[in-house]
Amino acid sequence: MNLPKGKTAVVTGASAGIGEAIARKLVSADIRVLLVARREERLKALCAEIGKNASCMTLDMAETGAAQALLEAATKEFGTVDILVNNAGILRTSHVDEFDLDELDPMIAINYAAVVRTSILFARRMKTNSGGQIINLSSIGAGITAAGTGIYGGLKAALERFTEVLRIELAGSGVRVGLIAPGTTSTEIFEDMKAKGQPGWDEFIPAMEPEEIARAVLFMCEQSGNANAARIHIYATSEGF
């Protein structure tokens, strides 16, 4: 493992799927992790299972005060936060004939606004500390133009632009910024589609496992010296686009 001992991390959306796998992976690398999500019971059970290097905070990241509350709680818990992984997100497909417009604002709030707010507040603090790592979860959907993906893919594309500019603005400060864009990964994110009678995207091809995305997060965190792994795209082997 290429990481100094005693590092600390905050992972949003850590009660399930990719975020849970990231939390497990970072703890296995001797990093202390604060897991964040809304489902308290699930989060607490997971923390207890992962062990002493895991703690948890129940928080709806879509609320406007959540990023500040998280920064304060994480600082109280760790003193210094070395790694922030903005992973929490939802998927709602958006075909013009079917999209429920009530789902628009909640998707913007968690998939874009929350990541921007949290990135900015933690970046300012990390800059003061002259070091840190911010990782934002995008999607290969940011670069795919296909029916039903306009809003989700559009928000991920906006997030990629924001993340790239954040990296540029923090260049030379000691704060590394990167984005990870997974392809289809087997998680609960497709459950909303399935509940609406739509086929989940994970039903078309053999999907990746969350652990495979977590490995990329750890790789990004392991960068040292003058290296910053700024973009990692991970496609499922059957994804031919």
The answer for residues whose C-beta is within 8 angstroms of residue 131's C-beta and 6 or more apart is 82, 174, 175
According to DSSP, the residues that pair with 10 across neighbouring strands are 34, 84
Q: Are 223 and 232 in contact (CB under 8 A)?
A: no
We find the least distance from the C-beta atom of residue 128 to ligand NDP, in angstroms, to be: 26
Between 14 and 31, name the residue whose CB sits nearer to ligand NDP. Answer: 14
Residues that bind ligand NDP (CB under 6 A): 12-19, 37-39, 60-62, 87-90, 110, 137, 139, 182, 184-185, 187-189
We find the least distance from the C-beta atom of residue 174 to ligand NDP, in angstroms, to be: 26
Catalytic residue of the set 9, 16, 59, 152: 152
Residue 139's nearest CA partner among 100, 111, 104 is: 111
Q: How many CA atoms lie within 13 A of 11 on its CB side?
A: 30
Between 133 and 185, name the residue whose CB sits nearer to ligand NDP. Answer: 185
112 given a catalytic annotation: no
For Cα atoms 41, 208, 122, give the angle at the middle one, nearest 5 degrees. 55
Between 89 and 148, name the residue whose CB sits nearer to ligand NDP. Answer: 89
Between 58 and 223, name the residue whose CB sits nearer to ligand NDP. Answer: 58
Give the DSSP per-residue string, 168-211: HHTTTTTEEEEEEEE-SB-SGGGHHHHHTTPPPGGGTSPPBPHH
Residue 90's nearest CA partner among 19, 158, 161, 174 is: 19
Between 71 and 110, name the residue whose CB sits nearer to ligand NDP. Answer: 110
According to DSSP, the residues that pair with 155 across neighbouring strands are none
We find the least distance from the C-beta atom of residue 88 to ligand NDP, in angstroms, to be: 4
The answer for residues whose C-beta is within 8 angstroms of residue 95's C-beta and 6 or more apart is 147, 148
We find the least distance from the C-beta atom of residue 208 to ligand NDP, in angstroms, to be: 8
What residues are annotated to the active site? 152
